[in-house]
Amino acid sequence: MKTWLDKLRKIAERIAREKPKLHFVGLVPHEILPDQWDLLISSDQLDRKGMEGLRYLDKTLKKHLTTREFLKITQMVIMPHDRAMLKKLNEPGEFSAERLHSLYRFDPPDEVIVIWPPKVAARKLEHA
């Protein structure tokens, strides 16, 4: 049986094929709700200002996740795909939540689950 994170990794692979270039997919805990997550994503082909990108994500997630798994995601945030962000995400060494601070509008999250890119997701995460 596939875990929720395994499914999200497969979804990220699909998005990378359909909406290149996919720069980042990650989860951070919701600030208030326990066991709920914010999905952060950045791709050159996902519109940050309109609803098209969110509709695409909603449809793709609902197609591949159970209702219970989908409801773990409280919000989807399409982030800018500027070079500064990519440089921070791809720096060598430990990956910490602090590195998302300039991208995430709230206080830096205590935990980050990196789903994409695979080379970052494979590194050990250092929790802030």
Q: Per residue in 87-101, pLDDT tens? A: 665 565 555 555 555
Phi and psi for 114 in degrees, rounded to 5? -85, 125
Q: Which domains does the chain have, with CATH numbers?
A: 4-117 (3.30.300)
Residue ranges of the chain with per-residue pLDDT less than 70:
1, 83-110, 119-128
Give the pLDDT of residue 67. 96
pTM of the model: 0.79
Q: Per residue in 51-60, pLDDT tens? A: 999 999 999 9
Cis peptide before 92 (omega within 30 of 0): no
Calpha distance 16→9 (Å, rounded): 10
Distances (CA, A) of 15 to 4, 30, 70, 85, 116: 16, 23, 16, 19, 10
Q: CA 119, 122, 100, 81: dihedral to nearest 10 degrees?
A: 30
Identify the three-state secondary structure at position 67.
helix
